[in-house]
Chains A and B, each alone.
Chain A
Amino acid sequence: EIVLTQSPATLSLSPGERATLSCRASQSVSSYLAWYQQKPGQAPRLLVYDASNRATDIPARFSGSGSGTDFTLTISSLEPEDFAVYYCQQRSNWPLTFGGGTKVEIK
C-alpha cells in the first residue's frame, strides 16, 4: 500500500498570503495524484488531478506540481473561503489511498 504523508498538519496563515502544502508518497506514483478540499460538514471537492490539472471551475489561484514521490499544492493568495482541510490522493496503485490532510487555518 502506498502511504501518502502530508505536511504540515496545520498551516496558520492570513488572507492574501501564499499557502504551500506538501504530499510525499512512500513510492513513486508518477503523476497520478489528486488534491481535494473539504470544509466542515461538507463532502470533499476535487481541486487538482494528475498532479497539475485543475478540475472544472477551480480558480486559477490553486495550482499543483510535482511527480514521482513529491507533490505540492499552492494557493497563491488565500481567500476567506480557502480555509479548510486539504487531502492528497493517489491512483497509481490499488488500494487507493489518501494523505492524512493539512488544515489551513486563519492566523
Chain B
Amino acid sequence: EAGVTQFPSHSVIEKGQTVTLRCDPISGHDNLYWYRRVMGKEIKFLLHFVKESKQDESGMPNNRFLAERTGGTYSTLKVQPAELEDSGVYFCASSPRVYTEAFFGQGTRLTVV
C-alpha cells in the first residue's frame, strides 16, 4: 500500500512568489490534514478535509493560504504571495477516520528568501 506522498520535497522561492504544494493521501482515506512545523516548534494544525469538504480551517494563518481537495482525492496548498515567515516544513497526513492514527507524508520543506 502506497503511503502519503507530498511534492515537492523541497522548495526555495523568493518573497512575493507563489508556491503550490501537493499531497496524495492513502487511497480510501477520507480525512486529510495539513500541518506546518517551523523550526523547533510544534507541528501546527492548518486545516482538515473530510473528502472534498473543509471540516476545519481554523489553523490557516491568513488569506494568502488556499487549500483545495477537488474530488476528495489529492489536495493542494497554495501560498500566494509567499512571505519570509511562511518558511517551514509542511506536512500532510491522512486517516480513514477521526481520532485514529494519522499517516504522515515526508513533508515539503519550504524556504522563502
Note whether A and B form a binding pair. Answer: no
